[in-house]
Structure 1
């Protein structure tokens, strides 16, 4: 009880800074109170959007009505232009030249009367002109003029020249609306011109152009303009066609600011902000714009904003009072319970700490003690079960206890009759390598992770239990119904590969798996483990990172057959000769071929690979002893290389160590040839190069040539070159022989005589000793 009270007190101190339930409820009620406030804000936003949409819709409606009225008038003008173009007197005048007869003057009078009638037919029309291209004659209701006078009547811009004005009439057919200006006082006022070509009956004859001048002041005569609002019509060149305001005042709204067909925009000007709604005429392309001061436009929105603020304040006042009342009413029972429990339990309650934590800590302390006892019990059960599984795999069980009873005692369920074992060895610990202090803990954690993964993967199709065997090896007992060998192989391979893939992806850990064959009965577990262990030993040949099946081992039944071993003396001599010449690539190729001949032979003993690698290392050690001299730098350390070789676990790792020593040794030989420089040795080399064709050339002949004993000159030569003088003579001869063998000019016998060998058999023997092949085979290869 004292232990529980102590733990309870510790937990209370830990939670002393927790917020009181009183504050928690207060914040909760305030959060609830924020809901209507947020709703009011959402409603405010939605209402503003609706008001804005409705106001824009009303403005658009006014503009649309105005657009339809004006466009209907334009359509009427277009219909009238067709009627005027069909007038016989107007069309017949196209054939008359510039010189008029009496009857022509009468026709002009009749046409003027007709034009006067047409002008009366449409209120929008201010004046109608008929320009005859053939006679450069312009007829109106009250006078007759030429194109120059017409230029004075109106233009398309104030600064337009007469030539630019006449360019308007150049096209064969004209039809459309055009902004124009007409003189008024000392200035110009805007107007609208509709032009329509009248084609003659004779295609080769010039026609006429009907010009309808529209009174722009009447365009907006029927427009319903809101108070303090203004309507404007703008053309594509941003010219003010018509306005309900001051026509001389510049327009704040620009045509380029209104890219869509209809819309609304807010513009800041010198006179303040304005809101502009606009629409586009389908006939003329003009923009019909209604502008309102922003303050007027937002007046209704300000009313909605004030109502929303009042609603929020009301929520705060009423909701705050209700919150305080509910908070006190609900907290009093909790407060009374805390006071009673604090008095009886003897554990004081710190004001401001969390009441719920205080109430639950007593129960939690009891539950923790119970869980701790349960955890310890389960921990011992897991340890006992792991120990039992280890003994089961190794066959070290008590014979007087039936296995079924032992399985039940350790909560093991093996419902099927087939048993297999999958071994998983950790080749590389990846993220779990860790420092020296953490390495043991990381490895235990990794083995625990692998055990759980392999059990989970295997239980998709079988019953499985995993157990650790050492710090890098884990075994999984797989129990399933007896199946065919192929199905069994596929199932175990799936289990191993999925486990290896998962661990490699998430932990960067490399595993090697070994799978046994399927055994029947519980006592077959030991045999399955023995097979999996044998398969795992084959990792030295197969390499790491794969799945090795016991069924794939050649001679697996005890491996009684004695394996073959290939490393004859002549092969060792060839390797020594190649290395002494510093030919790294040739040495690696030769060693690889020796390894391939041994490792790929079946059946293969695991120890054979080690023997071969140590023999190859011993051969390189011989070369190191031959090339090392007193006046040369230190040669590669062959002893250290053998120590590294002993630590390798696979043939691939041994091969890497062998090739590393080969590279160091060949580099040493090639880099230190300069130490052989000696005047006498250089003369001996030159003498051999000059007389290698002489069949009598030998060490005695060279000694006589330099007045020295053969033994002394041979010893001196080897000290400075690292090789014997006789070998140098043979290599010099063989170098020339290889050059001659590359061609087809001489036979092998003739080449033997040319390089100083009187006996062709001697030539064959020495050539094969140094090159590894006969001269004839060498010629075939090349």
Structure 2
């Protein structure tokens, strides 16, 4: 049961599970107000809104820029028209001046009475000279000089009278020759008349603007003649036509009497003037304003003539003026709509994609029972996650508290098994050692055993109650002495016996024997002198690996037994001594319970080599060192055989095999070496049996782990921890087991499976890199690309291209 599930039962049981069912139903509404999906989606929408608002601001700025650009363009074209038109009007003024100050004309204007022949000749010369002046300006269609004294009109190559000119040659609508004669007789007169269509003597019509100017420039009644100029409106319109056609507007020339002198455009009419088009409204030399003409909004631009004060007016409908602005607006609105729709869809997709891992976590929380509490009751996913985290923290805190309370016990248990040589390989990993508060500084170890059999010197009346106190004193003193040059770990093995594990530092490995001897002597002296104890101490030499601690323990046990034997024989030394060869046989054999238990553990672990080594050490100790008697030999051999038979009871087939081997009568005169050889063969059979059993179990577990990875490689939560939880083992044990069984790390195997599946999917062109990343257990394609390149040296895209190129070949 997980800690979260245990906490759920502890805090509510059935009610919490009912709440869990309700919450699961609520969580199916992914887009509910309390779902994590909502703020995720809102965050992406907020980013999208920033882009849309920025786009809107840019649109308004672009619109203003386009409006200014169009206005500037129209103003520039209008200014160009003004300069050209004023240039033409100045040509007209030059014509006027040259004609007005012509000597022959001045003579003609000053003549009185009837003309002489000489006067007539001068008149002919003047007519010929006027023909040259006609070409001074393209605007001039024709011009005449009216002489008041004689009532005649003189023009280029022509001399006529008003009735002939105005009733026959040029017929003005609404004006007779008498009307013109009255106009020409006025003094101090200067006037432009709006364009009108005049009838010609050939029956056709011509649009002209009439210009009348009194000459010479003496002012008032002193003027003796009048200059009449007919301006060709077509020539003037040609100047205006470019702007009107390009901008699809209307062009007007307006004088200070609000008369339209000329106009051009698709709807322009010289006889029809817009009601709002007033000279006084067009203030300044140039400008722009908006007016409404016949219910239609117009943009009116104007510029003033520098020659005669005319206003050159250009008017265009507002929608035409804003045509380019409207194009920008249409594109902007279309792009904003595309961004809004596409961005909304992308926001929903990205929010859902980022929500999927959170949803998986929520499902795991609900599945494990971590939804109990306020978060589960409220149905809020945020509260649910917070509640699960709080529950996990409380569980972790409780677990740490329990571990802290049990740490001394766990440490004692671990050190006891380690010193006796019974620790599993997974327990010797650095993580496992740190968990029990043990940290080694090297791979060299020695074991020291301290045995105290009598407490009468320290507590004669309460010896039984003082055993824990005495063990504590011995362990502390021994540890302190060991820590002077090395690292020491003490533990009470049984009542009256304390073990000291000495971790030898590498820099003092050469002095290890002397240091161990010094610890033994000092410890014995302190216990005897200060606490009146008479300890027996046995110490081993240094073993150079963790697996050799068991051997060191047996060596220390032998030394301790020898020390106890010496003590019983009257020896007073507390040092480690060997049994001298020769002499009388020992009265007892060497096969203590500790050695028997170690023997059993090695057989059950299937470690035949170590078990045989231990059996050989038993043989050497009893037959070579102690030289036990034949009577004790007949007891020792059945004792060892009994240990094997005890193990055989766990497996019927092994029991029958060993029973037959061990119960068979030994050969006649069989010696001890042969008997131990027979035991060694039986030992190998037992170890092989247990090794095969362990191999089958390990193989099944290895296959199950591999199957689990192949089935779950697409889960982005797959890890060493999740696999260990699935099989109910610790991550450190899983890593050590998998490495030992397969020669490969778990993480590397997961990566191998994912790489193989990714390569298979990359061969399918319909799958994108992002889809493949999701299918092999990655939340996004960025992490997958880094992972793939780390193991393959190329990116997934490059690998796919190489596949496609191979296919193409």
Using structure 1 for the length normalisation, give the TM-score.
Answer: 0.36
TM normalised by structure 2 equals 0.35
